[in-house]
Amino acid sequence: MDLNQTEKRRKFIIDIVYFAIILCLVFLFLKYAVSWIMPFLLGFLIALMFRPLIKAVSGATRMNKKFCAFVIVLLGYTLLGFLLWLLGNALFQSLKDFCLNLPSLYTNEIGPALGTANQNILDFAKRFSPDIADQVGKTLSDMLDGIQSSLGELSAKGLSALAGASTKLPLMLISLIFTILSSLFISIDYDNVLSFIKRQIPEKRMAILTDVRDYLGKTLASYARAYLILMGITFIELSVGLLALRVNNALGIAAGIAVADALPVLGTGTILIPWTLIALLQQRYYLALGLILLYLIVTVIRHFIEPKVVGDQLGLPPIVTIICIYLGFVWFGVLGAILFPVTMNIIICLHRAGKIHIWK
């Protein structure tokens, strides 16, 4: 009896250590090694995305499949590069102009508005005590000086950051070139590349990878559906709020903010918070109060319903979803918060299908 218990405990400890080592290796691979082979992984994924179009065009035109792959991938990159160049150039110029004009913007717009607000606060303080008014005036004066110097530093740092980003362009350009070349050559020789990869994987593992591919497609579709639902809810909330505040083109603005909210890193705060500050400087206090309340309502509702909506679409319990989002964000940032629930859903699907056995 004691020997059986000892053997069970020993097996349990060995299993725990084994899975811990596997998790550590996966973590280290995702954290460090992936960046080294990222251009080739992206190249393979891009080739995979172009594959259905290449097959369709090749079948319809009876064109040589390799030549068809070359033409389609090249045209796709040309179009994408042109669009990215237009967008990047416009964004760079906007940031540059903003940084250059920030000091004059403070002098002409922000400074006078803050001065008016300063005077209003002083007038209000004088009703209670001249001593309080003097102290408040000194504090506000120090704050204004601090804001002015901070904006000057921000302008200089912004230009410095743009210059620093430009120094990283050669490395980014090299990675981009290798990504384009790898996707082009993989698309041209896709069947041979895929056949080579399959030959390196045991048949049993290949069956699991096929299941992973199928589950990944279904999971990504469910994930997209979940965020479309969240985007729709956010759009409705923003539309109602902006219409109540009598904002011009409320529906168009709500749609733009809802799209920004669905994107990684961005969110409703990237638009509503600066808008609130501008409204305060313009002394439109009703609009500023409404916008900040709208931001709080949208944010609270979003954080409350997101685990439920995503969990329902993926088939995960809300508590598992929120744990996956949190751990993914802590370990790998915004991208991890998106991909970790997807990975967990695939693992659960494989476990339920009996392909792998992790828990009871």
**Structure tokens belonging to residue 38:** 């990222």
What pTM was estimated for this model as a whole?
Answer: 0.57
The pLDDT assigned to 296 comes to 92
b/e code 224-243 from CB counts within 10 Å (16+ = b): eebbebbbebbbebbbebbe
Residue-level pLDDT at 156: 60
Are 271 and 249 contacting, i.e. CB atoms less than 8 angstroms apart?
no
SS3 245: coil
Which two structure tokens, joined as six digits, stand for 18?
């084994």
The predicted pLDDT at position 157 comes to 63
Measured distance CA(211)–CA(195) in Å, rounded? 17
For residue 28, what pLDDT is reported?
A: 75
pLDDT of residue 34: 67
Whole-angstrom distance, CA of residue 353 vs CA of residue 359: 13
Domains of the chain, by residue range, sit at 202-360
| DSSP tally for the chain: helices H, then strands E | 13, 0
CB 281, CB 109: distance < 8 Å: yes
Tokens found for residue 78:
């040309």
3-state secondary structure of 354: coil
What count of residues does the chain have? Answer: 360
Strands (E), the chain: none
Q: Distance between CA 81 and CA 74 in Å, rounded?
A: 10
CB-CB contact of 229 with 253 (8 Å): no
Q: What is the pLDDT along the chain (360 residues), one digit of tens a residue?
A: 455 777 777 777 776 777 778 777 777 776 676 667 778 888 888 888 888 888 888 888 877 888 888 888 888 888 888 887 887 777 677 666 666 666 666 666 666 666 666 666 666 666 666 666 566 666 766 666 666 566 556 556 655 665 665 566 677 778 788 888 888 888 888 888 888 877 877 777 777 777 777 777 777 788 788 888 888 999 999 999 989 888 888 888 888 888 877 765 567 888 888 888 878 776 777 888 888 999 999 989 988 888 788 777 777 777 777 888 788 878 777 677 777 777 777 777 777 767 666 666
CA 337 → CA 46, 300, 348, 349, distances in Å?
Answer: 22, 18, 17, 19
Q: In whole angstroms, what is the distance from residue 117 CA to residue 216 CA?
A: 55
Contacts of 310 (CB under 8 A, 6+ apart): 223, 226, 227, 230, 316, 321, 325, 341
Q: How far apart are CA 42 and CA 192, in angstroms?
A: 18
Q: What is the pLDDT of residue 357?
A: 66
CA-CA distance, 228 to 134, in Å (whole number)? 54
